[in-house]
Amino acid sequence: MLINLGWRRAPQAPVPAAAGARPASGGGRLVALDGLRLFAALFVAFFHYTGREPSVERAWGVGSATAFPGLREISSFGWMGVELFFMISGFVICMSCWGRSTGDFFRSRIVRLFPAYWAGVLITSAVLFIWPMVVEPRTPSEILLNLTMLQRPLHVAQVEGVYWSLWVEARFYLLFSLLVWRGLTLRRTVIFCYAWLIASVLATRADEPLIATMLMPQYAPLFVAGIAFYLIHRFGSDILLWGLVVFSYLLAQHNMMLRVIGVSADDVQRPLSSKVAVGLLTLFFAVMAAVALGWTSWVRGRWLTTAGLLTYPFYLLHENIGWTIIHAMRDVRPRYLTLALVLAVMLLASWLLHRLIERPLAAVLRGRLKAAFAGFGRPDRRYGAGPPAGRRPAARTPAGPTRETGTAVTDATAAVPDQRSRAEPRQTADVVD
């Protein structure tokens, strides 16, 4: 029965399982998701290198039908790897944020996204400046704005075409932060997901671009499906959670029909089968369902965990730099050898970026952000450890309302940190998107 799911319990309380369902499970790194992320990244790369017609012609010097007559029939659907990324993102963001505060959420997203992204923007810009053979380099102003990750809403050219998906992710984080701020519980999360789906449908009929921008009708079903799969993984099955999955799938397959039309006209420049696209989408849902139900728990391998860590740097670097290398090697035969070498070079570059830049910079940024967030709301924030030189410290006064906060602060309470900051919530493994 649905009442056995513990919807009225506090988020940290044990949740009794519904009849026939698994008991609530915590977070933990799911290696199968690392493998899925690697597949999605490679699928997108194959699309860019062998299926996206304008880019293939510029990089290889011939069309995809000549360069890769057999492979292009598959790689032309590689753009759907981004759809899989969005589903995985919904799953892992919900998992990694369960029991965390809003500050923890924002810190984890900043630390995860920006160090590799800043490096990717600068490295790609340098490569395009030195070898502008396939893609024109961006202006200094455009590069600087790209560092903010806000170039797309400002209609400024992107250093890499794949950056459009980061703007989608950023909007998802903003919406989800509202739920994190309220506190993640099963009840609130399910209500949030149903409300988001319904509101996203209504937004398609509203003549208000800002509403559609925030609710993302085209991609909301994918994120919601990922969240629903995590809830099934954590709390077990019930009709409301599987209803979310079905609702999301029905909307997503409709959106996929529209996506196929746009990709056919703009990217592959030939008709694509909507049946194949919906079939792949159905496969993605089936695989995520298998992960949610624990059917992939047998998947093991440290190399998959490493591959999962390299997926984001690879995604950031592969497109324009890959085309530049392909252009320089396009006379090498067979072309499949060039393709394999380019993929190997980009994976190596991703590993170097992760080890030499992303990890050290993330560690520094994490510490600085933690210290900055800890100082918010501190009465002595203005002067730090003490008053500035030449300024006498304020005399102690009896407890009473302060001018800054309007709350009573005594010597005893000032010396004791906030009890909420002492009891750190249990942190699940951050399986990043």
Q: Which amino acid is at 314?
A: F
- pLDDT tens, position by position, 101-145: 998 999 999 999 999 999 999 999 999 999 998 999 999 999 999
7 in any annotated domain: no
Rounded Cα distance between 367 and 107, Å, is 10
Rounded Cα distance between 43 and 36, Å, is 10
Q: How many structural domains does the chain have?
A: 1
363 in any annotated domain: yes
pLDDT band at 11 (very low <50, low <70, confident <90, very high): very low
Q: Domain range for residue 222?
A: 23-372
pLDDT band at 382 (very low <50, low <70, confident <90, very high): low
Rounded Cα distance between 187 and 189, Å, is 6
Top pLDDT among 369 and 4 is at: 369
78 in any annotated domain: yes
386 in any annotated domain: no
For residue 83, pLDDT beyond 60? yes
Q: Which amino acid is at 118?
A: W
Distances (CA, A) of 360 to 117, 302, 310: 14, 21, 15
Q: Is 266 exposed, middle or buried (0-12, 13-18, 19+ CB in 10 A)?
A: exposed
Rounded Cα distance between 191 and 240, Å, is 10
Cβ pair 407, 401 in contact under 8 A? yes
399 in any annotated domain: no
403 in any annotated domain: no
pLDDT at residue 430 in the model = 40
* Lookup: tokens for 90: 């919904």
315 in any annotated domain: yes
- pLDDT tens, position by position, 417-432: 333 333 333 333 343 4
Q: Is 427 exposed, middle or buried (0-12, 13-18, 19+ CB in 10 A)?
A: middle
Please state the pTM of the whole predicted model.
Answer: 0.83
* Lookup: tokens for 65: 């039908």
Rounded Cα distance between 46 and 52, Å, is 9
Cβ pair 116, 129 in contact under 8 A? no
* Lookup: tokens for 402: 């302060």
Cβ pair 431, 29 in contact under 8 A? yes
Top pLDDT among 49 and 403 is at: 49
For residue 275, pLDDT beyond 50? yes
pLDDT at residue 387 in the model = 52
16: left (phi over 0), alpha (psi -120 to 50) or beta: beta
160 in any annotated domain: yes
Handedness of CA 390, 392, 393, 394 (dihedral sign): negative
